[in-house]
Amino acid sequence: MEKRRIDPVNCSVARSLAVVGERWSLLIVREALDGARRFQDFHFRLGIARNLLTTRLDSLVAAGVMHRVPYRDPGSRQRFAYELTEQGQALRPALVALLEWGDRYLADPEGPSVIVRHGTDGDENPCDEPVTVVLECAAGHSHLAPQDIKRTPGPGARFTDAS
């Protein structure tokens, strides 16, 4: 094989996984998309150890996925809640794709526990139809099959000899 290979080191998949490529980080983002904001929300919903949760939230803040918002309950000192930044909200398609994959191959016999639907909680006339992730090209070809796409070098590509 003489084919030139794109060096995988600076691939954006690897960089994304360095930020969120770990079970807890993506589950924290999932809960935040579902409305969790306070340390206790994440702790309670995920059953994650407090020290681990602290570390993961700090990492997500440092990476720009979440930001801290101060709040103060009556009679308490000021604390911080955690909200997704625009960068964090942009992880939604990746989470929907993982949800779909899990639904298809790993769900209980009774079916999936969560269905993602079109609409927001405040909508007066929500569409409510189930949402899926679709591969689409810039020419407008949609619903592409996984095998109908290929990886090609981009402007930031570095190359190695093929093994």
Q: Of residues 94-123, which lie at the interface with its own copies (CB under 8 A)?
A: 94-108, 110-121
Report how far apart, in Å, the C-alpha atoms of 12 and of each of 17, 31, 69 are: 8, 24, 29
Choice from 4, 40, 50, 62 touching its own copies (CB under 8 A): 40
Of 30, 36, 41, the closest CA to residue 98 belongs to 30
Q: How many residues bind its own copies (CB under 8 A)?
A: 92
Question: Residues for the chain: how many in total?
Answer: 163
By CB under 8 A, tell whether 21 contacts its own copies: yes
Nearer to its own copies, 69 or 149 (CB): 149
In sequence order, the 6+-apart residues with CB closer than 8 A to the CB of 108 are none
Report how far apart, in Å, the C-alpha atoms of 34 and of each of 48, 107, 112, 129, 142 are: 17, 20, 16, 18, 28
Choice from 4, 13, 49, 71 touching its own copies (CB under 8 A): 13
Q: Give the contact letters, 62-101, x = binds to its own copies (CB under 8 A), - = no.
A: --x----------------------x-xxxxxxxxxxxxx
By CB under 8 A, tell whether 135 contacts its own copies: yes
Choice from 2, 44, 52, 62 touching its own copies (CB under 8 A): 44
